[in-house]
A and B are shown apart, each in its own frame.
Chain A
Amino acid sequence: MARMKFICDAERCIECNGCVTACKSEHEVPWGVNRRRLVTVNDGVPGERSISVSCMHCSDAPCMAVCPVDCFYKTDEGIVLHDKDLCIGCGYCFYACPFGAPQFPQAGAFGLRGKMDKCTYCSGGPEENHSAEEFRKYGRNRLAEGKLPACAEMCSTKALLAGDAEVITKIYKTRVVTRGKGEEIWGWSMAYGGSDKLSDLPGGKA
C-alpha cells in the first residue's frame, strides 16, 4: 500500500519559499495561516540549513490522539485529515504537534479561534471530491487528479519530495549516494518512527 510522506533535503533547500507560495496560491490560504513554512538554523553562518515544514502526516499522529471530538481520520495512503465541521478550534492538536502544523485562522470579532486548518497533502477533505464545499474548507484535491502536492512539485531545487515513501526514499538515496553525505532526513523518526538515517530505513542501504 502506498504511504504518502514528505522528505525535505536540507542539502538542497535554499529557503526560496516556492513551496509556501505554491501552497498559498493553490489553496487560497489566507494571510496568517501557514500550512507550510521555512525553518532556518545557523542563519548567516557556515552550517546554515533550511527546511520546509508542514504537517508530516505522522504514522502515529499525536493530533489524532488528543482531539477531544475525534475529528481526525487517516486515509489508506497515510494522510492525516480532519473534518472541519466537527472541529471546535480548541487548539489541543497544536500543542500536541511536534511540527507546529495546525493553524488557527481568526474567526469573529473577538479573536476567537476558528476551525483548525493544516496541510491536507493536497487531498481535500471529507466532502465530495472537487466540490465547491471541499475547496472552500480544505482547498484543492490534487491527489484525486493524479497529482502530488503543489509544494513538492514546484520546489525550486527539488529539495522537497512528496509521494509514496518507497519511491521518494529511492530518489533521496540516489542523491545521498552520489554526493556521499547528508543522509539524515529531517523529522523522519519523529513523524514516522524508526531512524532519521536513510541507511537505517528499509531499502536505504547504499
Chain B
Amino acid sequence: MLLTRKSEGHAELRNPLARAASALAAKTIDRRAFLKGSGIAAGSAAFASQLPLNLIGEANAQAKAAGKTEVKRTVCTHCSVGCSVDAVVQDGVWVRQEPVFDSPLNLGAHCAKGASVREHGMVEHSHRLKYPMKLENGKYKRISWDQAINEIGDKLLQLKKDFGPDSTFWVGSSKHNNEQAYLFRKFVSMFGTNNMDHQARICHSTTVAGVANTWGYGAMTNSYNDLQNAKCMFFIGSNAAEAHPVSMLHALHAKETGAKMIVADPRFTRTASKADQYIRFRSGTDVALLFGMLYHIFKNGWEDQPYINDRVYGMDKVREDVMKKWTPDKVTEVTGVPEAEVYAAAETMSKNRPSTIVWCMGQTQHSIGNAFVRASCILQLALGNIGKAGGGANIYRGHDNVQGATDIGPNPDSLPGYYGLAAGAWKHWCRVWGVDYEWMKARFPSQTMMEKSGMTVSRWIDGVLEKNELIDQDSNLRAIIYWGHAPNSQSRGLEMKQAMEKVDLMVIVDPYPTAASAMPDRKDGVYLLPAATQFETSGSVTASNRSIQWREKVIEPLFESKTDHAIMTLFAKKFGFEREMNKNYKMVKDKAGTEEPLIEDITREFNKGSWTIGYTGQSPERLKAHMRLMQHFDVKTLRCTESVVDKESGYDIKGDYFGLPWPCYGTPEVKHPGSPVLYRTDLKMMDGGGCFRANFGVSKDGVNLLAEEGSFPSGSDITTGHPEFDHILMKKLGWWAELTPEEQKEAEGKNWKTDLSGGIQRVCMVNHNTHFWGNAKARAVVWNFPDGIPQHREPIYSPRPDLVAKYPTHDDKKAFWRLPTLYKTAQQKAVTDKVAEKYPIVLTSGRLVEYEGGGDETRSNPWLAELQQENFVEVNTKDAENRGIKYWDFVWVSTPTGAKIKVRALVTERVGPGTSFIPFHFAGWWQGKDLLDKYPDGSAPIVRGEAVNTATTYGYDSVTMMQETKTTLCNIERA
C-alpha cells in the first residue's frame, strides 16, 4: 500500500491543524443562532437548480412555501481561477453555499478558500470593519460617514491646494470588480493625479510589460481549461497546487491523459510532487535555466523553423547569444542544475508538442523579472507553441480580478485599456466620459504631470521618504489612501512604517482594517472606512484566462459598509466633480440611501471605450446570459456549439466562448465570440482567431517586422503581414464604403482603437477575416527594454558575490517612475559589506493554499484560520541542524535591513540547503510583538503573525518597479 498509517504521525507534526487539535484544548466557536433553525428551507431551494428535471417542480414548490429563500450565483473572490459559487440566501442571510457543477471553469470544485466563502456573510463573530473610524489619541473611535467624508475630504483638498494633487497616493485594488476598478481610475484622474496603483504592480507587472512587448497583449494566452489539450506542461515559478488549486483539476486531468509535467522551482512544492520531472534551481536564475534549455533545442534542431521564419523577429540574434553564453557548464554554474536535467526538460518540451509553459510570481518578482518572462516567451516561440491550443504562455494571475484591474483599472502609467497617458489617450477617454479635454487637463497641475506615469505601490514609501530634490514631482507624498490593498504584501516593512508615520494622512478603505491600521505608531491622522465585499454588490470579474463572469449581489452590504462605487461617489461630491464622473450613469440608492452608479451603466461605458483589448463586446446582457447557461460551454474548448436561447434576455449563446474571453472585439451586436486562445491563425477572426500585433513599426534595421507571406488568420483577405488599420488604410483598400454612413461619420480621422462606432473593427473582421491591429511578428528581441535579449543578472542581494562580478545588475536610474532607483550601487554595497557571509541563506516567499494576498480577510475566516495558526519559515534539515533548530522551534529570521522577525521553524526537505521560504500572508506581529491592541476593537484577524515583508530588502525590476521579493538573503537563529 502506498500510504501507511505509520506515516501519519509524521504528517500530524507537519500539519498545523493536527497539532492544533492535540495541543490546544478544543475551544469551540459558538454556532450561529440564526443558522440553527435555517437548515430545512435553505436546503430545499439550493438543490432546485441542480436536481434532475423531474424533481425541480417539487423543489420549487417547497422553496415557495419556505418564503424568501434565493440562490444567487457568484464567483469566489480569492484567486483568479474564477470558481462559481451558488449562494443560498434566506431572508437576506447567506446561509449556505453549493457547488456549481455546471461551471466549465471549476466544475463545482473548490479549494479551502472557495469552500469557505459563505463565511463572508456572517454577522456574529465577524472580524469586519463595521463602521467608519478615526484614530484619536492613539485609539480608534467610531465616527459617522458624514464626518469621515468631510474630514478626509477637507484634508485632501487642503493638501491638493498646498502641495498639488501629486502629494497624494491612491492604492486601488485587484479586488474591485471591473466596474469599480475602472471607475477608480477615472475618479483619481479627476482628482488630478496619476499617483495610483494596485496589486498587479507586485504581482505580474513584469509579465504584462514583457509579454505585451513580445507579441501584443500582456495576458495569459490560453486558459486553465486548455491545459487539457497540452501534451507537456512546464511549470516554472508557479506553485499552482497552492496558489491556483482548482487549476490542478485541469492539469491533473491532462496528466492522466498522457501529458508530461515538469516543475522547476527552488522549492519542492506540492505542485512538484505531482510532476514527472522536478528541477531544483537557484532562486533568481531563470534566464540561465530557460536559455540552457534553448541551447539544447537549437543544438538538436528541435526549434520550429517555419514558424520562426513566418512569425518571429530576432530569433537568430537570440540563438547566437544563447549558443555563446549558455553552454551547459555555464548553466550549471549559475543555476546549480546538472546538464542532464536541463537536457531532459528541453527534450520533453520539444517532443511533446503542443507544450505549454506556466509561470507565476516565481518569475515575476525579481529585479530582472522582465527578462525572465521574455525568456519564457522566447522558449515558446522557438518551439512554435504560441497561438496553438494546448500550447501558449499560461500566466496564472493572482487575485480574482487582478487581470481586470490591470486591463481597465488604476494603473499609474495608463488609462483603461492600455491606452497610455499621451494626449490622444486622454482625448479618447474624455470623449467616452463625455467631459471636455480642457476641463480634464485643468484637473492636473500641468499637461506634463498629466502625461507622466505616477509612482508605483511598490515604491510609495520612497515618495514619502526620498529627498525632495531627487524626486520627479513637486511635492513628496503627504497622504496615502489604501483602498482594498494590504500593506504587508509590499517589501521593506521597516521603511514602510516610517513612511506611514511621516505622512499627514492615512486612509484605509477596506472590508477589514488590514495591517495598515495597526502598523504605524501614530496618535491621529488615520481613518478607516468600511467597504463592502464583492458579495455585497454585483458586477463583472475577469479570470486569469480573460473570461469575464458576472456576479449577482448575494447580500446587502454588512454593518455600515458601502460599496466602493458609493464611496467614490461620496468623495466625488465632496471634491466637486461628481456630475462629471457619474455623467453617463443612472444613479441608484443603497439601503442607507447613499447614491451609487448603476453597475451595468459603468460596464456599458467601458464597453464603449476599450477597443484596444476588446472589452467592448461583453455587454452585461451577454455576460449574464453566460452565467445562467454555463453548462452549455465545453470544458476543453470553452465554446458553446449549439443554439441555446437565454430566456431572460432572448440572447442566443451559440458560438460564444464562456465569459467572452477578451478580446471580444466590436460592439455586442457584432457578436464576436471572445478569444480563449490568443494569436491563433488556424481560426477565423469571428471564431476567435488572430495573429501577432503590429505595434512596433514595419521594419527594424532593414529587417521585416510583419508576418511573412502565407501567415495570416484563417480566411483573411490579406494573406501576408500588414500594419494596423486606420481610416486611411480602409479607404486605400476600398473597404470604407462598407461602413454605414453613421460609422463613417464617427470613424473619419480615427483608427481601430479610437473609432467609437466600432465600424473599422466590424468591417475588417466580419467582412474580410482580417485583423485590424495588423499582422506582425512576435519580437524575440525587445530593443526598447534594458536588455533587448534577456540577460542573466544576479539579484541585488545575491548569495554568489563571485557571480556578481560576472553577471552584474543594471546601472542606477535617476528618474524612474518619478523616483531615483538603485541597482549597481545597492548590489556593490552588499558585496562590499559581505552581506552574503552574514546572511548566508536565500529567502524567498510565496503563498499558502489557505490564505490569499495580505491575508486580512482569510485570516479572519475561522475555518481557514484554524488550518494555519502561526507563520513559519521552511528551513532545510541541514541548515537547521547546523543551527541547533528543531521542528517548530521559534526562530529569528534577520535580513540585511536590520529587521528581525520571529516565526516557527518548519524543518523540511522542501527547500534545499541554503534556501528558506516564508509565506507572505501574515501580519499583525511586529518584530516579535503581537499588535492586537493596536487594531480597532473586534476587528483584528483571528490569526496574526510576523509579515515576511517586514524584513524584505531593496530591489526593483528595471522596467516595471516590481519588487524583488523572490530572492533576498537572511540568517536564521534559534529564538
Binding site for B on A (CB under 8 A): 10-12, 14-22, 24-26, 28, 30-34, 37-51, 98, 100, 104-106, 111, 130-132, 134-136, 140-142, 145-147, 150, 153-158, 175, 178-179, 184, 186, 196
- Majority-rule SS of A interface residues: loop
A106-B26 CB under 8 A given contacts A16-B111, A154-B109, A156-B110: yes
Out of A12, A48, A106, A186, which one reaches B1, CB within 8 Å?
A186
- Judge whether B257 and A20 touch: CB under 8 Å: no
Question: B222: shortest Cβ distance to chain A, in Å?
Answer: 20
Chain B: which residue is nearest A9 at the CB level? B252
The 8 Å CB contact of B26, one of A26, A32, A145, is A32
> Please, how many angstroms separate the alpha-carbon atoms of A37 and B19 in the complex?
12
Residues of B within 8 A of A47 (CB): 273
Q: Is the CB of A154 within 8 A of B114?
A: yes
Q: How far is the CB of A43 from chain B (nearest CB, A)?
A: 5
B44 contacts A179, CB within 8 Å? no
CB<8 Å pairs between A and B, sample of 25 = A14-B252, A16-B241, A16-B242, A20-B863, A21-B115, A22-B115, A25-B115, A30-B27, A32-B24, A38-B11, A39-B11, A40-B14, A43-B10, A43-B11, A51-B3, A111-B25, A130-B43, A131-B40, A140-B43, A145-B43, A154-B99, A156-B111, A156-B114, A157-B252, A184-B2
A24-B863, A178-B257 in contact; A33/B14 too (CB < 8 A)? no
B561 to chain A, nearest CB (A): 22
- A44-B908, A186-B1 known; A11+B252 contact, CB < 8 A: yes
In the complex formed, the residue of B with least CB distance to A139 is B39
B8 touches A39 (CB 8 A): yes
Given A21-B864, A28-B35, A30-B29: A48 in contact with B270 (beta carbons within 8 A) = yes
In the bound complex, residues from chain B placing their C-beta under 8 Å from that of A34 are: 17-18, 21
Nearest CB of A to B868, in Å = 9
Q: Mark B92-115, 1 if CB is under 8 A from A, else 0.
A: 000011110000000111111111
Q: Beta-carbon contacts of B1-42 to A below 8 Å, as 1s and 0s? A: 111110110111011011011001111110110011101100
B849 within 8 A of A: yes
Bound-complex Cα distance A10 to B11 (A): 15
B97 touches A156 (CB 8 A): no
**Residues of A contacting B114 in the complex (Cβ-Cβ under 8 angstroms):** 18, 154, 156
- C-alpha spacing A142/B50, complex, angstroms: 13
B4 proximity list for chain A (CB < 8 A): 41
- A-B contacts counted at CB < 8 A amount to 215
A148 and B98 alpha carbons, distance in the complex (Å)? 11
B433 on the interface (CB 8 Å rule)? no
Chain B residues with CB below 8 A from A141, complex form: 39, 43
Is A31 in contact with B26, judged by CB distance below 8 angstroms? yes
B502 sits at the interface (CB 8 A): no
- Please tell me which one of the listed residues A17, A32, A157 contacts residue B249 in the complex, with CB atoms under 8 A apart: A157
Residue B46 lies at the interface, judged by CB distance under 8 Å to chain A: yes
Are B241 and A184 interface neighbours, CB within 8 A?
Answer: no
Q: Contact mask B171-202 → A, CB, 8 Å, 1/0?
A: 00000000000000000000000000000000
Could you say which residues of chain A place their CB within 8 Å of the CB of B20? 31-32
| Those of B858-906 within 8 Å (CB) of chain A | 862-864, 866-867
Cβ of B116 within 8 Å of any chain A Cβ, yes or no, is yes
Q: CB distance B47 to A147 under 8 Å?
A: yes
Q: Does B818 contact A (CB under 8 A)?
A: no
Contacts of A184 in B (CB 8 A): 1-2
A49 touches B3 (CB 8 A): yes
Given contacts A32-B24, A98-B5, 5 further A-B contacts (CB under 8 A): A10-B3, A11-B256, A37-B18, A44-B268, A184-B1
Whether A18 lies near B112 (C-beta < 8 A) is: yes
Chain B nearest CB from A28 CB (Å) reads 5
Contact check, B270 vs A106: say whether CB atoms are below 8 A apart. Answer: no
B910 an interface residue at 8 Å Cβ cutoff? yes
What's the Cα separation between A15 and B37 when bound, in Å?
Answer: 33
Min CB distance, A116 to chain B, in Å?
Answer: 13
Report yes or no: B109 in contact with A21, Cβ–Cβ below 8 A: no
- Partner of A25 from B43, B111, B118, B278 at Cβ < 8 Å: B118
Q: How far is the CA of A26 from the CA of B98 in the complex (A)?
A: 10
Distance of A136 Cα from B17 Cα, bound (Å): 23
Q: Which are the 7 A-B pairs with shortest beta-carbon distances? A: A32-B26, A30-B28, A44-B910, A48-B273, A17-B112, A130-B40, A22-B115
When the two chains form their complex, are residues A146 and B47 in contact, meaning their CB atoms are under 8 A apart? yes
Shortest beta-carbon distance from B276 to chain A in Å: 11
- Cβ contact within 8 Å between A153 and B249: no
Given contacts A25-B116, A28-B35, A43-B14, contact A153 B866 (CB under 8 A): no
Max count, chain B CB within 10 A of own CB: residue among A49, A106, A157, A178: A157
User: Bound state CA distance, A183 and B924, in angstroms?
Assistant: 46
CB neighbours of B31 from chain A (8 A): 28, 30, 136
A184 to chain B, nearest CB (A): 5
Task: Please report the C-alpha to C-alpha distance between residue A41 and residue B270 in the assembled complex, in whole angstroms.
Answer: 12
Who on chain A is nearest to B20 by CB?
A32
Bound Cα distance from A43 to B99, whole angstroms: 30
Docked CA distance A10–B849 (Å): 18
Task: Count contacts on B: residues with CB < 8 A to the other chain.
Answer: 77
Asked if A154 and B108 make an inter-chain contact with CB atoms under 8 angstroms apart, the answer reads yes
Q: Does B440 lie at the interface of the complex (its beta carbon under 8 Å from any beta carbon of A)?
A: no
- A14–B241 Cα distance when bound, in Å, is 6
Closest CB of chain B to A74's CB: distance in Å? 23
Q: Are A37 and B256 in contact (CB under 8 A)?
A: no
Task: Tell me if B55 counts as interface (CB < 8 A to partner A).
Answer: yes
Q: Are B26 and A25 in contact (CB under 8 A)?
A: no
The answer on a CB contact under 8 Å between A14 and B866 is: no
A44 to B278, CA, bound (A): 12
Q: Does B255 contact A (CB under 8 A)?
A: yes
Question: A40 and B11 in contact (CB under 8 A), knowing A17-B111, A30-B28, A186-B2?
Answer: yes
Does B256 contact A178, Cβ atoms closer than 8 Å? yes
Determine whether B739 belongs to the interface, using a CB cutoff of 8 Å to chain A: no
CA distance A18 to B46 in the complex (A): 20
Question: Which residues from chain B contact A146 at a C-beta distance below 8 Å?
Answer: 47, 51, 55
Assess whether A22 is in contact with B110, with CB atoms less than 8 Å apart. yes
A21 with B246: CB separation less than 8 A: no
Is B413 among interface residues, defined by CB-CB distance under 8 A?
Answer: no
Do the beta carbons of B908 and A43 come within 8 Å of each other? yes
Give CA–CA (A188, B245) in the complex, Å.
26
CB-defined contacts of B320 to chain A, threshold 8 Å: none
Give the distance to chain B from A53, nearest Cβ to Cβ, in Å: 8
Contact of A49 among B17, B47, B112, B273 (CB under 8 A): B273
B863 lies within 8 A of A14 (CB): no
Interchain CA distance A156-B112 in the complex, whole Å: 9
Q: How far is the CB of B665 from chain A (nearest CB, A)?
A: 34
**B3/A157 in contact, CB under 8 A:** no
Q: Give the docked Cα–Cα distance between A157 and B227 (Å).
A: 14
Known: A16-B849, A40-B11, A100-B8. A145 touches B245 (CB 8 A): no
A37 to B246, CA, bound (A): 19
Q: Among A28, A45, A48, A155, which residue has its beta carbon within 8 angstroms of that of B32?
A: A28
B112 A16 Cβ-Cβ under 8 A: yes
B39: which of A42, A140, A155 is its contact (CB, 8 Å)? Answer: A140
Query: Is B70 in the interface zone, CB < 8 Å from A?
Result: no
Q: Which residue of A lies closest to B112 (CB)?
A: A17
Question: How far apart are B519's CB and chain A's nearest CB, in angstroms?
Answer: 28
Q: Which residue of B lies closest to A111 (CB)?
A: B25
B243 to chain A, nearest CB (A): 10
Contact partner of A156 among B119, B248, B909, CB < 8 A? B248
* B15 and A40 contacting across the interface, CB-CB below 8 Å: yes
B862 lies within 8 A of A39 (CB) = no
| Chain B residues in 8 Å Cβ range of A24 | 116, 863, 866
Once the chains are docked, how many angstroms separate the CA of A39 from the CA of B113? 19
Q: Which residues of B contact A135 (CB under 8 A)?
A: 35-37, 39
Between B10, B17, B863, the greatest number of chain A beta carbons within 10 A of the residue's beta carbon is seen for: B863
Q: Select one of B28, B39, B98 contacting A132, CB under 8 A.
A: B39
Considering only CB atoms, which chain B residue lies closest to A14 in the complex? B241
Q: Given known contacts A30-B28, A38-B15, A136-B31, is B249 in contact with A156 (CB within 8 Å)?
A: yes
Chain A residues closer than 8 Å to B43, beta-carbon distance: 130, 140-142, 145
